[in-house]
Chains A and B, each alone.
Chain A
Amino acid sequence: NAGVTQTPKFQVLKTGQSMTLQCAQDMNHEYMSWYRQDPGMGLRLIHYSVGAGITDQGEVPNGYNVSRSTTEDFPLRLLSAAPSQTSVYFCASSLDGSSTDTQYFGPGTRLTVL
């Protein structure tokens, strides 16, 4: 199993540009989520999904969109990038989204918005 994969690893955007961060998992996990990691703030939940066709907002959803058309994929879209979105983005998945689940993280995407 490849686990959780993310592309790209690095990205530089200009303010106002749009892009999609890709996330895929091959563990047949129902639950997937996106976090952003900022220094001193730990990881903050952006959006999550409990299964194909179902998504919901996390702690910091503004400026981001998600969709879940398949179990495997959970892309994160930035519609109009802002410098405040400069961060490291992690995708994670877990078996069924229960509160005792272990989450498995991808390698991260380092995004810089100029």
Chain B
Amino acid sequence: AQSVSQHNHHVILSEAASLELGCNYSYGGTVNLFWYVQYPGQHLQLLLKYFSGDPLVKGIKGFEAEFIKSKFSFNLRKPSVQWSDTAEYFCAVNWNNNAGNMLTFGGGTRLMVKP
């Protein structure tokens, strides 16, 4: 079965620290990749997405992610986090051979940024 792994379940950083959250997916052909964020008490919203082209994707709020095909990875990065980045982050993958839009989510990474 196709799967998405986020190895860091909880991350605690101080403000201004750099962030990298890992995301790996199982092999399965062409993929479309997403990062969603869920701020405390809010619903999930899209942070960024990758379909094709430049493997370095820039999203909202200074986040970026790099697709490395050979490593089946789509890690999320931010050079300098802020307290307001405290949230849970979900990597999601949609394999192009799926019927319909069946996103598979990773288990999530809960980020806490200390002021």
Contacts and interface: CB of A to CB of B under 8 A. Distances in A.
Interface stretch (A10-18, A36-44, A67-75, A76-84): A36-44
Interface string A58-69: 110000000000
B108 A40 contact: yes
Nearest to B51: A100
Interface of A: 4, 31, 33, 35, 40-45, 48, 50, 56, 58-59, 90, 92, 94, 97-103, 105-108
A107 B45 CA distance: 10
B105 A99 contact: no
Given A99-B96, A100-B32, A106-B43, A44 B101 contact: no
- Greatest chain B CB density within 10 A among A41, A43, A106, A108 is at A43
Contacts of B92: 43
B53 to A, nearest CB: 12
Contacts of A40: 9, 107-108
Chief secondary structure at chain B's binding surface: loop
Interface residues of B, number: 29
Contact of B90 (A4, A42, A101, A106): A42
13 contacts: A33-B101, A40-B9, A41-B107, A42-B107, A42-B108, A90-B43, A92-B44, A97-B100, A98-B101, A102-B46, A105-B43, A107-B42, A107-B43
A113 to B, nearest CB: 22
- Greatest chain B CB density within 10 A among A42, A59, A107 is at A42
